[in-house]
Structure 1
Amino acid sequence: MPETVTAAPLPTDDDIGYIHNRTFDEIAVGDTAAIERTLTAEDIQLFAVMSGDVNPQHLDPDFAASTRFHGVIAHGMWGAALISAVLGTRLPGPGTIYLAQTLKFLAPVHIGDTLTIRVTVRSKDEAKKRLVLDCSCTDQTGQCAIQGEAEVLAPMEKIVRTRATLPEVRLTDGNGGVRRLLDYARPLGTIRVAVVHPCDESSLGGAIDAWRAGLIEPVLIGPRARLDAVATAAGIDLSGLAIEDVPHSHAAVQRAVELAVACKVDALMKGSLHTDELMTAVIAADSGLRTKRRISHCYLMQTPAYPRPFIITDAAINITPTLEEKADIVRNAIDLAQVIGVERPRVAILAAVETVNPRMPATLDAAALCKMADRGQIAGAVLDGPLAFDNAVSAAAARIKGIVSPVAGQADVLVVPDLESGNMLAKQLEYLGGAASAGIVIGAKVPIVLTSRADSRESRMASCAVALLLAHRYRTQPL
């Protein structure tokens, strides 16, 4: 007997596995298609992220409550985007080319409203293969929120495709941690900051942003002509700001150190010069800024995957610190943790493994640091180590390995073995983990805002907020 071949049935509009269209010839005047969508707060936030429209009417419940809409409403174009979804997936479907759209926004859409988004074919142009469709978005009460018409070029060929699987989108509070840090620091009042050679837009703009945010009173130190040129190009007004006119970056560093030693500024902030140039002057034996502490760098970070801000140290100053230097690195980090409100921070001394191995110096240093804490040589925190990174930040990982520790899984401070591992860890968290960060140098008589040329303005402002907190602490508890 001959083999019988049964054709696969065409998918329907309800088939979640496929997406298909209706060609121009298959469409008749009066044909209609619709989808339903209930508005959530996440929809509004995601649309704001995609569009950049952060109008408080859509995102600030307190502000929105005082408006004539009496609450948060969706962006008008959110509903318009749903009309596009019907045209592109239902009628006509894949292969449709949008030509024109007119819309009238008739009523607000509030969180919890369920919209029926409908398109209906009004006319067909046989010569141009174009359709005009009436479009509407109607809420659950029957009120029309959006009304208009769309003109499209309809597909001529049948298309049936496996429906795409969209990536999972996870919303976080973005720079909410930065805002909370600024709000925590701002009530202390501004500090006077020497901004060293801010001769590019990012460093000058970051200092101006921190000034406008009520964190610092900047003293700009650099060649006046270059500062004016950068400000003009960036549309920044330097009127009323203190400016120290010096010929070059070396002179800017020297003048900044002089101001700090004379207590005429409370902190230093790196501009568009190399870190080595600034730090060499700071750590010089005769700089006047050295203390008994080893100078070290801390990244204050917050990432969506971890429930609290944390510190990574040292990732920028000490390349291969000795045990004695690591002790000061830990002490500096404890000071910073306490300044940001962690009364007794949990400090994880990181290594590749969580057991002491004589062939791995990082594990020996970790064990020694913990013993120093036991004997009171390092105070104000709970230390444990060696801990592998996963054990330091994941309670589940620590349990699996049988680690019983007051630090494992809930570390506030991560002390890395050396600069290379710390720098890579911090950059990975920032660029792959979505971490927000602030960078500060501690151990000198004044805090030093040490930012990278690639840092965002938010990061620069956060670093200034940390410097403000430390500077106020140093006024009563100098190093």
Structure 2
Amino acid sequence: MEPVHEKYQRLIDFCRTLPPMPTAVAHPCDRSSLEGALQAAELGLIAPLLVGPPARIRMVADECGLDLADHPIVDAPHSHAAAARAVELVREGAAEGLMKGSLHTDELMSAVVRREGGLRTKRRVSHCFIMDVPRHENALIITDAEINIAPTLADKVDILQNAIDLAHALRMPEVRVAILSAMETVNAKLPSTIEAAALCKMVDRRQITGALVDGPLALDNAIDPAAARTKKIESPVAGRANVLMVPDLEAGNMLAKSLSFLAGAVAAGIVLGARVPIILTSRADSVTTRLASCAVATMVAAKRRDDAKIMG
């Protein structure tokens, strides 16, 4: 039986009070991707537009006993075409979100970041894990462990702001970001500490807004109050971070997988910085994780709608 992840369940329950997000699902041609989209639709999280070869989608549904109900199928002959057509549906205003089906992440993201006809914005695209860690009181956002391999300082500005904006969409009452490194002091021999200090100064000058940010911080003194006290770090973030920004993809990937495989955490995922939230699911994801990823995207879309009304 799948364990109950209370933080995710609260998220899903809240999203059921929101209108379902019209979502282009690119190439849902295996059981996990099609079932995930249909389960999210059943809970009212998304309203899926199934983009791919109609005969193949129906065959998967029949083989797996899934009810396509009246969910529209948008014809696309293969996975590359499905990614391109799903992006077109967003550009046409038919979808407010994008969801990966049974195609490679690179296929979907290449259609997203295409200069002509893609979903680029002024922001760099980045990924956030929203992790439900047992025995840790609140959800943890970890960025970026999936897309930006060796981000520059300029890249990190966007990665940080994307994560802060996500935390606000998730209605975190106070966003506290720890910029992680191997140590909590600035050291010229370790470039990530220099960049962490620069990002903090950019927060001071309001080039990055919306959060309390501190760094460099080591992982222990970022999330454990006792470790922060031992190191005599006086900061509103140290020991209390709810967003962890890693120095590069390798560090982020290892951190997320360590929490998953050694601490029993689960990780919902979302891509930000494009015109719409992008749900990246994996075949290995549990049902709860897939639904939580959809719920996160729905909250991001709802926040964007609210912001647009205020701006309008």
Range of TM-score over shorter length? over 0.9
Aligned with 2:219 (options 384, 389, 400): 389
Question: Which of 210, 217, 226 lines up with 1:380 in the alignment?
Answer: 210
Aligned to 1:300: 130
How many matched pairs? Answer: 309
Q: CA deviation at 1:239?
A: 2.7
Partner of 1:218: 48
The whole-number CA distance in structure 1 between the counterparts of 2:111 and 2:189 is 37
**The one of 173, 194, 203 aligned to 1:364:** 194
CA shift, 1:288, in A, is: 4.0
Paired residue for 1:256, among 62, 83, 86? 86
- Which residue number corresponds to residue 455 of structure 1? 285
- Could you tell me how far 1:341 is from its partner in structure 2? 1.1
Unaligned runs of 5+ in 1: 1-48, 53-172
The residue number in structure 1 matching 2:20 is: 190
Q: Which amino acid aligns with 2:176?
A: R
Gaps of 5+ in 2: none
User: C-alpha displacement at 1:229, in angstroms?
Assistant: 1.7
Q: Which has the higher helix share?
A: 2
> In structure 2, what is the Cα distance between the partners aligned to 1:473 and 1:307?
24
Q: Give the RMSD, CA atoms, in angstroms.
A: 1.5
Q: How does 1:46-445 map onto structure 2 within 5 Å?
A: 174-445=4-275
One-letter code of the match for 1:270? K
Conserved? CA contact 1:357–1:364, under 8 Å: yes
**Given the two structures, how large is their TM-score scaled by the length of structure 2?**
0.96
Cα-to-partner distance string for 1:305-346 (whole Å, 9 max, x where unaligned): 311111000111111111111011110101110111113300
Give SS of 1:353's match: coil
- Contact 1:344/1:380 (<8 A) preserved: no
For 2:205 and 2:109, the matched residues in 1 are separated by 33
Which secondary structure does the structure 2 equivalent of 1:432 belong to? Answer: helix
Take 2:92 and 2:44, find their aligned partners in 1: how far apart are those partners? 24
Match of 1:150 in 2: none
SS of the residue corresponding to residue 304 of structure 1 reads coil
Aligned equivalents of 1:206 and 1:363: distance in 2? 40
Residue identity in the other structure for 1:195: V
Contact 2:111–2:118, Cα closer than 8 Å, also in 1: no
1:287 and 1:358 map into 2 onto residues whose CA distance is: 42
1:100 aligns to what?
A: none
State the SS of the aligned residue for 2:17: helix
Larger radius of gyration: 1
C-alpha contact 1:314 1:329 (8 A) present in aligned 2: yes
Identity of aligned residues (%): 57
Q: What CA distance in whole angstroms lies between the structure 2 residues aligned with 1:352 and 1:451? A: 30
1:469 counterpart residue number:
299
Distance in 2 separating the partners of 1:279 and 1:388 = 31
- CA deviation string 1:154-200 (max 9, x = no partner): xxxxxxxxxxxxxxxxxxx7222221101112211111000101111
- Alpha carbons 2:19, 2:44 under 8 Å: kept: yes
Higher relative contact order (CA 8 A, sep 6+): 2
CA distance in 2, matches of 1:369, 1:323: 8
Is the CA contact (8 Å cut-off) linking 1:178 and 1:436 kept in structure 2? no
Tell me the amino acid that sits aligned with residue 248 of structure 1.
Answer: H
Contact 2:7 2:138 in 1 (8 A): no
Whether the 8 Å CA contact 1:205–1:457 is kept in 2: the answer is: no
Deviations 1:388-411 (A, max 9, x none): 011111111111112111111110
CA distance in 2, matches of 1:287, 1:366: 35
Q: List, as ranges, runs of 4+ consecutive aligned residues in structure 1 with deviation greater than 6 Å.
A: none
1:186 maps to amino acid: R
* 1-structure distance, mates of 2:126, 2:5: 26
Aligned counterparts of 1:446 and 1:174: Cα–Cα separation in 2: 29
